[in-house]
Chain A
Amino acid sequence: MSKITIVCVEDEPDVLDAVIRELEPLEDVFVIEAAENAKEARHLLEQIQERGDETAVLFCDHIMPGENGVDLLVDLQKDERWQDVRKVLLTGQAGLEATVKAVNQAELAYYIAKPWEGDELMQIAKREVSQYLVAKDLNPMPYLKHVNMEIVQDLVRKHLSADR
């Protein structure tokens, strides 16, 4: 069975560590992968696809050495392989212009302002992964532990096995 992956792109190692630590509890049903810049991120996405897994959510920083986060997201949106990936901007520094660009051209799913609060990151991850399951009409049963129940409610019904 293909695994559902959550990818985090962030150039500062401390922040990346914090993000990964925050999302760690999800790892019993999802795979969490990290990249330090846009180039690595593209490579990682390719790899995930090659091994037959799916990228469901991409958390992305904006200001990074090389290509910035918003440009990466906009570019990924043009490639039909990554169009359905739920794209989340996780940044303190994206200006209005860049943010608008991300919303309009990369169908940004969510904007999290750093520093995030409490379990915000976790809630957004669950929410977005649930939206992905719904959009792709995937069987939510294996992931019920870490999804947003309200979002997947109808999906659960649809994929239910019958009484036996």
Chain B
Amino acid sequence: MAQGVHGRRRVGLGETFWQYRDYEPGDPPTSIDWRQTAKSDRVFVRQMEWEAAQSVWCWRDASASMDWRSHNRLPRKRERAELLLLALMILMTRAGEHVTLLGTGMTPSAGRGMLGRFTELLTQEQADRAASLPPMEPLPRSAQVLLLGDFLSPLEEIEKTLRGFAERGVSGHLVQVLAPAEETLPYHGRVRFEGLEGERTWLLSRAEGVRDDYRRRLRAQEDGIAAIARRTGWQCTWHRTDRPPQTALLAVYGALSRQA
């Protein structure tokens, strides 16, 4: 499934055969395909498909809400998101794509050496200064964007961000990483919930009583994200930290390849 450069479905400079066309005056004689010409009375010129490498801008949510895990045996959401992000970047670099991190201002590159630099940048970023949604940045058309995060922000904000990308013709992929407890709300009895990003606390006398309502709300959030992605031509994938990361990796990489 890995191919480095992607055909642009037009004539141009490339290595893959695209079409034969009749010779027209002005074509360089070296472009004539003599073998094909010899088969008939006409003179053919061999044309190649225009090929260019894709540029992918990657981003992961580094906010405090990602720095959490529901169980000691599980990785933190941020760790899992960074793992997926780095794995995808390595895969894409191997496939010859140009990758960079969104928000750093670095130009996309296919060099292996850049991966170390990206890793350093990912681990350095502090949770308290990071936003829950990616910043807007002028991107070239036909660029790809890969976003990883928990996307628990209000749907309007998410839509605004994605629409901002889509208006510039930038499509992309969105991966929601959640801890299992965020999906099942496995708490009992009297619990005081505290947010991680300065939200107010919420005291529940019986946490198990609101489980169904909570799930309904979470489902609505997920459906909302999916709807926004559909409208803006994006794709989205869901991942839980108790599931193996390979599954998510394959799904996301396959989707990216198809998109390209």
The answer to whether A and B come from one shared complex is: no
